[in-house]
Amino acid sequence: MKSFTLYILAIMKDRKTGMIPLFIKGVLKVLSWIYTGCITIVDLLYRTGRRKEHKVRVPVISVGNITLGGTGKTPFIIFLADNFLARGFKPAVLTRGYGNDENRMLRDELEGVSVFSGQDRVKNALAALENGNNIILLDDGFQHRRIFRDLNILLLDAAYPFGNGFIFPRGILREPISAIKRADMIVLTKTDEIDEYAKEIIIKKIEGIVPGKPVVMTQHNVSYLKDVTGAIYSADSLFLKKVCIFSGIADPDYFGFLVKEKKANIAVRYDYPDHHVYSQRNINIIYKKCIENNIEKIITTSKDFIKIKDLDVSMIEDKLFIMNIAIDIVAGKEKLNAGLNSFNLGKRA
């Protein structure tokens, strides 16, 4: 099942050639026409007012994307929540109700922040108000339009901002590219993966669709490593170490990129599908491979560590480290601050 999922994803991203992938692409393209028709109808209903947006009494900030996964929504939500906590506010995060690994990660990483999970986010917004929260962060909220938002932030992966241009399931676009017109601000993530020329190309394309729209550039930063006991280690401890990395995330290549940036030697690597449910067999295989290759450190992400907590990791725990990721604003910080300060924080009348 894992290999089949990765195979289809590779076809969606045009990374497979031949007669069979060509046939599958044709089938996926027909399905994408049906999907596009459905989302076009939904968009029309909201634009004509036949579907109503619900306003709540506190400001709402939405963070989302128009591609399937991999843009760094969760780290950015954590960044915003920490920002508002530092300013004395009581933020709440509303998540979709599936992808429990991300929900658990948010709860672990955001001490003092209320996290409400569930598909009925209007109901959860009301629960946040009753809880005394005075600002709401919608995680993966760009396509969730039932709640009015004061600031609509769209994240784009700088290395693959619009996928191959095709809408799901032929490609990884969740909506037509024109949907970025709904965004109040665009945040390019992982900009350290591309050069200055590529950045200029993306900026020009965005300008051509939404002239004058604020654009912020960010990159992920390895702030530290921690072991299974919670002890903290410098990210520089990866320097020249022979490591194994494993993850079940949407963009494992960027995870590998970050590890290599710390000058580690990646000798063993396991890429599982996004939201992969780990088994004990996965852990045993990783352990065996690491022994065979004299691995010094085993690195995974916070999201993946949450998913293996209930398994027996005793055979690898002395070498297992969790990478903590932070968001660095590399350009447009003043635009981001202006956006976050563009509405009054506090209950509406």
Task: Indicate which CATH number applies to the domain containing 294.
Answer: 3.40.50
Same domain, 141 and 99: yes
Q: How many domains does the chain have?
A: 3
CB-CB neighbours of 137 under 10 Å: 30
The angle subtended at Cα 277 by Cα 276 and Cα 279, nearest 5°, is: 125
Residue type, 82: D
Asked if the structure places residue 226 within a domain, the reply is yes
pLDDT string in tens for the chain (349-residue length): 667 877 888 888 888 889 999 999 999 999 999 999 999 999 999 999 899 999 999 999 999 999 988 899 989 999 999 999 988 899 999 998 665 667 777 888 888 899 999 889 999 999 999 999 999 999 999 999 999 999 999 999 999 999 999 999 999 999 999 999 999 999 999 999 999 999 999 999 999 999 999 999 999 999 999 999 999 999 999 999 999 999 999 899 999 999 999 999 999 999 998 888 999 999 999 999 999 999 999 999 999 999 998 999 999 999 999 999 999 999 999 999 999 887 655 444 4
Q: Does one domain contain both 38 and 64?
A: no
**For residue 151, is it within any domain?**
yes
Domain membership flag for residue 348: no
The whole-angstrom separation of Cα 129 and Cα 55 is 12
* Chain mean position to CA 86: 23
Q: Shortest CA distance to 189 belongs to which of 128, 250, 244?
A: 250
* Residue 55 domain flag: no
The answer to the question of residue 53 being in a domain is no
Partners of residue 224 on adjacent β-strands:
324
Within a domain: 293: yes
Whether the Cβ atoms of residue 189 and residue 72 lie closer than 8 Å to each other: yes
Euclidean distance between CA atoms 315 and 287, whole angstroms: 7
Under a CB-based contact definition with an 8 Å cutoff, are residues 134 and 347 in contact? Answer: yes
Q: Residue 145 in 3-state DSSP?
A: coil
94 and 194 part of one domain = yes
**Domain shared by 159 and 230, yes or no:** no
DSSP 273: P
Are 270 and 123 members of one domain?
Answer: no
Q: What CATH code is carried by the domain that includes residue 178?
A: 3.40.50.300
Closest CA to 339 of 195, 186, 224: 186
Residue 184 and residue 230 share a domain? no
Same domain for 230 and 296?
yes
Q: Are residues 178 and 69 both part of a single domain?
A: yes
Whether residue 269 contacts residue 244, with contact meaning beta carbons closer than 8 Å, is answered with yes
Q: Do 203 and 158 share a structural domain? A: yes
Picking from 86, 71, 189, the residue whose alpha carbon sits closest to that of residue 139 is 71
163 lies in the same domain as 78: yes
Domain that holds residue 193: 60-214+332-340
318: in domain: yes
- 64 and 203 in a common domain: yes
108, part of any domain: yes
**82 and 20 in a common domain:** no
